[in-house]
């Protein structure tokens, strides 16, 4: 953490004797450059030494081949001449080294030598010579060789790092929220904009007492160390710390006492969750997108503009998204239902989003046609369509008829269920 010694800076005097033999203070980059330069130089000298050995051996093999092809005459010269070395040089045009090598070879060994073996060794050495000359003649090839050798050495002699490197977020100092206990709470918003929070998730917010003329509007379950987000009718979001909410034992306090809501706007919903919790945000104009709860946060009492509402449209309640393979169900006031994968919607921090279901603009502005509700359906869930006191439960096979491409008009629900009040998703 930032408040401990783990991220303190310590000075190190890196006084190094360089390749030139002189001491100097170097940084890590300079040290690595010096070492790489030394390594490349050592590799070059090693290859050059090997090239000299190959040249010398090829030279000797050339003389040995001449001796083999003229073996009888060579043996005769060695046996009859007092000074065979000058005689061999004069007769076959050998160098002093070649003649010396032939004379050092035992006669019976020379006789057993086969031309094929000599030429085979010559071919192998000639190939190696060409490779060595290619490496020594190209700095790029030499660096590639050094790189391969270092990797091979590390693979053969290296071991796993005992202190693994892990990428983490920037260290932050402790704040008040980090020291809070994460108790389950249920935040409740009334129709008149009064807020309160009850301990636990078992409470039924509709059974709480409300002021005269007020009633339940929205509730969200979360933790006391999380933020509560309020959505208003203009598409703005406001944030309040969950642990600061008044107790549900009373009737709470007005949210406008802490927040500066836009003139003419009303609070419509509340939600809570982890910062990475995904949520579907949309309007009854048929547009929406998937966002993250963390992107809704703002310290500004005037809130943060998140959802852009098309002309004639209205904001709808946010829907939690817990499954990236889930389906979106959109239903209009005319009873048209469209179902498609939620993966077809973009993930945005703010904006208008993409078209979910097609609502003609002129009909929207006249409030003749609009979206009633959205539903997020995970695998195994059922969609419940509420129409007055009646409801229709639709399972996966029933929804297939309403599957289509994003932005289409959808299909009509059965008669008796075309005047939809809301959608509800039931788990399996």
Q: What CATH number has the domain bearing residue 281? A: 2.120.10.90
**Residue 379 domain-assigned?**
yes
* Residue 224 in this model has a pLDDT that exceeds 60: yes
pLDDT for 213 equals 92
Which of 269, 294, 309 terminates a domain? The answer is: 269
Q: Is the pLDDT of residue 3 over 60?
A: no
Residues 215 and 249 in one domain: yes
Higher confidence at residue 310 or residue 5?
Answer: 310
Confidence of residue 110 (pLDDT cuts 50, 70, 90): low
Question: How high does pLDDT run on average in the chain?
Answer: 91
Give residue 96's pLDDT band: very low, low, confident or very high (50, 70, 90). very high
* 296 & 360 share domain: yes
Has residue 133 got a pLDDT over 90? yes
**Confidence at 209, pLDDT banded by 50, 70, 90:** very high
Q: Can you give the pLDDT at residue 366?
A: 94
* Range in 112-116, 172-176, 189-193, 213-217 the model is least confident about: 172-176
Asked if the structure places residue 170 within a domain, the reply is no
**Helices (H) then strands (E): counts for the chain:** 9, 21
Domain match, 307 and 335 both? yes
- Asked whether residue 128 is assigned to any structural domain, the reply reads yes
Structure confidence by residue, pLDDT tens digits, 266-301: 999 999 999 999 999 999 999 999 999 999 999 999
Of 123, 157, 191, the one marking the end of a domain is 157
Does residue 399 carry a pLDDT above 80? Answer: yes
Contact 392, 384 (CB under 8 A): yes
pTM comes to 0.60
Answer yes or no: do 258 and 133 share one domain: no
Residue closest to 269 by CA, chosen among 162, 363, 195, 357: 195
Least confident of 127-141, 153-167, 383-397, 413-427: 153-167
The count of domains in the chain is: 3
d(CA 229, CA 219): 11
Of 13-22, 240-249, 306-315, 322-331, least confident by mean pLDDT is 13-22
My answer on whether 202 and 294 are in the same domain is no
In this prediction, residue 1 has a pLDDT band, given cuts at 50, 70 and 90, of: very low
Q: Cα(45)–Cα(142) distance, rounded to whole angstroms?
A: 11
The per-residue pLDDT for 390 is 93
Residue 346's domain comprises 274-428
Instruction: Decide if 281 contacts 288 (C-beta within 8 A).
Output: yes
**pLDDT computed for residue 428 by the predictor:** 60
Which pLDDT belongs to residue 4? 61
Task: Read off the DSSP letter of residue 94.
Answer: -
Cα(94)–Cα(65) distance, integer angstroms: 11
Structural domain ending residue among the three candidates 269, 286, 318: 269
Same domain, residue pair 65 and 146 = yes
Distance between CA atoms of 148 and 139, rounded to whole angstroms? 14
Residue 4 covered by a domain: no
The answer to whether 276 touches 263, Cβ cutoff 8 Å, is: no
Distance of CA 234 to the CA centre of its chain: 35
Among 406, 403, 385, smallest CA distance to 394 is for 385
The alpha carbon torsion through 244, 301, 354, 417 (nearest 10 deg) reads 60
Q: How confident is the model at residue 108 (pLDDT cuts 50, 70, 90)?
A: low
Instruction: Let me know: does 359 contact 372? Beta carbons within 8 Å.
Output: no
Whether 3 is in a domain gets the answer no
CA dihedral 43, 45, 51, 55 (to 10 degrees): -170
* Per-residue pLDDT reduced to its tens digit, 134-169: 999 999 999 999 999 999 998 888 888 787 788 877
* 296 found inside a domain: yes
Instruction: Please check whether residues 78 and 199 belong to one and the same domain.
Output: no
Helix (H) or strand (E) holding 292: strand 287-292
Residues 133 and 202 in one domain: no
422 and 280 together in one domain: yes
Specify the CATH number for the domain of residue 44.
1.10.268.10
In terms of domains, do 229 and 285 share one?
A: no
In a domain, 169, yes or no: no
Residues 228 and 322 in one domain: no
Same domain flag for 208 and 338: no
Q: Is residue 50 part of a domain?
A: yes
Residue pair 70/115 in contact by the 8 Å Cβ criterion? no
**Per-residue pLDDT tens over the stretch 302-312:** 999 999 999 99
């Amino acid at each position: 953490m930032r408040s401990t010694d783990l991220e303190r800076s310590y000075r190190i005097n890196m006084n190094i004797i360089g390749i030139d033999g002189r001491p100097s203070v170097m940084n890590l980059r300079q040290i690595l450059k010096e070492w790489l330069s030394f390594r490349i130089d050592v590799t070059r000298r090693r290859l050059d030494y090997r090239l000299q050995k190959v040249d010398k051996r090829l030279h000797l093999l050339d003389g040995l081949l001449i001796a083999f092809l003229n073996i009888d005459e060579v043996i005769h010269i060695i046996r009859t001449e007092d000074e065979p070395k000058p005689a061999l040089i004069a007769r076959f045009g050998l160098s002093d080294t070649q003649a010396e090598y032939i004379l050092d070879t035992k006669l019976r060994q020379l006789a057993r030598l086969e031309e094929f073996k000599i030429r085979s060794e010559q071919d192998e050495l000639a190939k190696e010579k060409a490779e060595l000359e290619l490496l020594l003649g190209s700095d790029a090839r030499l660096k590639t060789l050094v790189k391969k050798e270092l990797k091979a050495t590390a693979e053969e002699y290296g071991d796993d790092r005992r202190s693994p490197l892990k990428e983490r977020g920037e260290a932050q100092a402790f704040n008040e929220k980090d020291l809070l206990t994460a108790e389950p709470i249920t935040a409740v918003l009334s129709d008149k904009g009064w807020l309160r929070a009850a301990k636990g998730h078992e409470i039924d917010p509709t059974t709480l007492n409300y002021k005269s003329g007020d009633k339940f509007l929205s509730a969200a379950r979360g933790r006391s160390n999380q933020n509560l987000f309020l959505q208003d009718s203009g598409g703005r979001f406001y944030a309040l710390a969950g642990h600061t909410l008044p107790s549900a034992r009373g009737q709470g306090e007005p949210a406008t006492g802490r927040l500066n809501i836009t003139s003419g706007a009303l609070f419509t919903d509340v939600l809570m969750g982890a910062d990475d919790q995904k949520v579907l945000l949309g309007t009854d104009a048929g547009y929406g997108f998937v966002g993250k709860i963390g992107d809704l946060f703002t310290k500004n009492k005037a809130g943060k503009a998140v959802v852009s509402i098309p002309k004639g449209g209205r904001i709808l309640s946010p829907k939690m998204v817990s499954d990236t393979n889930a389906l979106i169900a959109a239903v209009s006031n005319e009873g048209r239902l469209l179902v498609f994968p939620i993966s077809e919607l973009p993930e945005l921090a703010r904006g208008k989003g993409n078209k979910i279901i097609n609502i003609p603009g002129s009909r929207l502005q006249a409030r003749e046609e609009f979206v009633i509700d959205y539903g997020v359906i995970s695998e195994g869930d059922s969609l419940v369509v509420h129409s007055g006191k009646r409801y229709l439960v639709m399972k996966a096979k029933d929804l297939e008829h309403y599957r289509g491409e994003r932005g289409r008009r959808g299909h009509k629900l059965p008669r008796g269920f075309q005047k939809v009040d809301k959608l509800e998703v039931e788990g399996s």
